[in-house]
Amino acid sequence: MLLLVLLHPRLHAQPCNLALGGTTQVATVAWAPATVPSNTTIVRNLTVTGGVLTAFSSCAAGLLALNPTVVSGPYYAPGTVINGACPGTPSNAAITSGAAAQHTLSLPAWGSNFPPDAAGQTGLTGAQNCSVCPAVFQAPICAGQYFPYYMCFGQTYTFSMCGSVAWNSNITVTNAAGTTLANGFPQFAEDGCGTPGGHAILSFIPAASGLYYVRIYNSPCAINNLLCGTLNVQCNPNPAPPSNDEPANAIAIPPTTVCNFVNATNAFATPTGGVPAPALCGSGCAVSSGSYSGYDVWFSAIVSGAGTLSIQT
């Protein structure tokens, strides 16, 4: 009998009070010059009908406002710039017509010295800011400060207080109103820099693109403008999911009479369609909750009809 085993760990954290009262925003001028690549490339599908560009995937995300350049693809010559309203007007005539072929586009680097957020601070819409990855930002910050940051699905954001003068920090990521935890996982971190009761580091994976608030507190959730340090922010595209992300690719575990441990991770895994949330994780069973991350991986075992199969994690 073939047995499929689904693992989606339960994680618990105690986030800070979600009210923004008493906290202050990190000033834009406080951010050090950003370390970003000279350009960022993305792959998008283009559709050309009768020699005219009729569809551009992710067009609604506002990518055209950044003047992406088609650097490779079957429909347009290298160096073709797409401008204007969706789906845009290419600077060169199409070489051929076709549906949904992939083209590699080159986007400009981020030109500011602070993390991108909402249009009011950067002059860009949030969705355009998704191009700023990979990138590294840095700014001084004190316990009780926050900053808005537009984060995008498919990217990982690491916030670190490591290296700052010693005190006990924690990091919380909330929605743009500061009233609920962020739509992603995990949303809270305390410690992690190697010293118990020391500084925090958090690698946040947003479940949806949007504006978030990242806040630093003195544990437990206290405001203290005399406790300061340097916050490092790093963005990187998510790596590929684990090989056993889906049931069809479950890792086989041979049952034995002794423990047979297999090293594995659910980091950057994706939710499996049609599989309900676990039934025994308490009240917080929603995807991206503290009890259920939604990132599941799979294992399989061939067992006989008798005996007991014990699984430990």
Report pLDDT for 67.
66
Summarised one tens digit per residue, pLDDT across range 286-310 is 554 445 666 789 999 888 777 788 8
| Mean pLDDT taken over the chain | 82
Distance CA 188, CA 190 (A): 7
Contact (Cβ atoms closer than 8 angstroms) between residue 126 and residue 150: yes
Q: What pLDDT is recorded for position 15?
A: 76
Please report the sign of the dihedral spanned by the C-alpha atoms of residue 187, residue 188, residue 193, residue 194.
negative
Q: What is the pLDDT of residue 10?
A: 46
Position 63: which residue type?
L
Summarize pLDDT for 244-283 with one digit per residue, the tens.
999 999 999 888 888 878 888 887 788 788 877 666 665 5
The band of 62, judged by pLDDT with boundaries at 50, 70 and 90, is low
Render pLDDT for 41-60 as a digit per residue (tens, 0 to 9): 778 889 999 999 998 876 65
pLDDT at 12 over 50: no
Q: What is the pLDDT of residue 280?
A: 61
Is 10 or 153 the better-scoring residue by pLDDT?
153
**pLDDT tier for residue 76 given thresholds of 50, 70 and 90:** very high
Q: Is pLDDT larger for residue 198 or for residue 295?
A: 198
Q: Which residue would you say has higher pLDDT here, 306 or 224?
A: 224
Cα distance between residue 155 and residue 268, in whole Å: 10
What token pair was written down for 127? 């969705």
Rounded CA-CA distance 201/234 in Å is: 11
pLDDT tens by residue, 98-132: 988 888 888 767 778 888 875 555 555 566 667 67
pLDDT score recorded for residue 309: 81
